[in-house]
């Protein structure tokens, strides 16, 4: 198992995950949050192919993106986004103090290595009254259902090792000097696929998501074989249901004016 996902390799097919509407509720939650915050200048850390930048540009015209993957940024450039794009690590933000009103990241914090450094850097480059919002799943609370964990059991251990818990994130925000910190459920990723339909899930492909990408070829093949066995062993006229019901949490910290 590799320690880091090669997003240059994943970039060409990364956006297939957005084709089936699973992320629509998260888009609406982000839009509502930004409309309520009314920031002037916004940064997305870990912007990838620029999907969220494009989705939010109409309500946040001064929105910029940062990512370390050259190929992900190349895909973002193809969107002809109005704001700037920077190749850099999130743990050393290449911006002056007090540059932004809002910094957010979606499903990216677990890729930042020492994520506490990112939170400290975010605190530095946020203006008084600014906000840091971190959105993602938390496998530590154990209340979600996901067929990936059931049929590819190595992925659960992978995620427990690399995802900080929501409480850990909030503690890091407080230590970094944020004046108020909250956590809420932004939305839920909920989708059931019956029988063979599961193999149409773009995130179930060999490198469709970081969980799949971090498996060995043998581990991935074994998980697919388990799914196929569950389908073939079902009673006649019945098909197994492969479920995803995952809370997308948003931890956000604010700086006093």
pLDDT in tens, 213-240: 999 999 999 999 999 999 999 988 899 9
- For residue 39, what is the DSSP state? -
**pLDDT class for 152, splitting at 50, 70, 90?**
very high
Whether 131 and 254 have beta carbons less than 8 Å apart is answered as yes
pLDDT in tens, 77-133: 999 998 999 999 999 999 999 999 999 999 999 999 899 999 999 999 999 999 999
In angstroms, rounded to a whole number, what is the distance separating the alpha carbons of residues 134 and 123? 13
Q: What are phi and psi of 28, to 5 degrees?
A: -65, -40
In angstroms, rounded to a whole number, what is the distance separating the alpha carbons of residues 4 and 133? 23
Q: Where are the domains of the chain?
A: 7-254
Residue 2 has pLDDT above 50, yes or no: no
- For residue 62, what is the DSSP state? S
Using DSSP, how many helices (H) and how many strands (E) does the chain show? Answer: 10, 8
**CATH class label, 7-254:** alpha beta
Q: Residue 1: its pLDDT value, please? A: 37
């Amino acid at each position: 198992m590799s320690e880091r996902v090669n997003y240059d390799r994943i970039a060409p097919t990364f956006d297939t995950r957005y084709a089936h509407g699973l992320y629509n509720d998260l888009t609406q939650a982000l839009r509502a949050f930004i409309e309520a915050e009314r920031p002037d200048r916004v940064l997305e850390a870990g912007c990838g192919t620029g999907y969220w930048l494009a989705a939010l540009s109409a309500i946040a015209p001064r929105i910029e993106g940062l990512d370390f993957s050259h190929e992900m940024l190349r895909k973002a450039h193809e969107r002809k986004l109005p704001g700037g794009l920077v190749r850099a690590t999130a743990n050393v933000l290449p911006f002056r103090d007090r540059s932004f009103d809002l910094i957010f990241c979606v499903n990216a914090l677990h890729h930042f290595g020492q994520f506490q450094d990112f939170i400290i850097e975010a605190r530095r480059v946020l203006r008084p009254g600014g906000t840091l919002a971190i959105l993602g799943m938390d496998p530590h609370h154990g209340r979600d259902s996901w067929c990936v964990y059931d049929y590819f059991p190595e992925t659960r251990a992978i995620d427990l090792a690399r995802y900080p818990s929501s409480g850990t994130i909030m503690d890091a925000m407080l230590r970094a000097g944020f004046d108020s910190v909250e956590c809420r459920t932004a939305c839920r990723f909920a989708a059931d696929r019956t029988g063979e339909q599961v193999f149409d899930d773009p995130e179930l492909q060999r490198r469709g998501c970081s969980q799949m990408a971090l498996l060995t070829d043998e581990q991935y093949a074994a998980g697919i074989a388990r799914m196929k066995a569950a389908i073939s062993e079902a009673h006649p006229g019945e098909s197994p249901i492969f479920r995803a019901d995952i809370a997308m949490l948003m931890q956000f910290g604010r700086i006093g004016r």
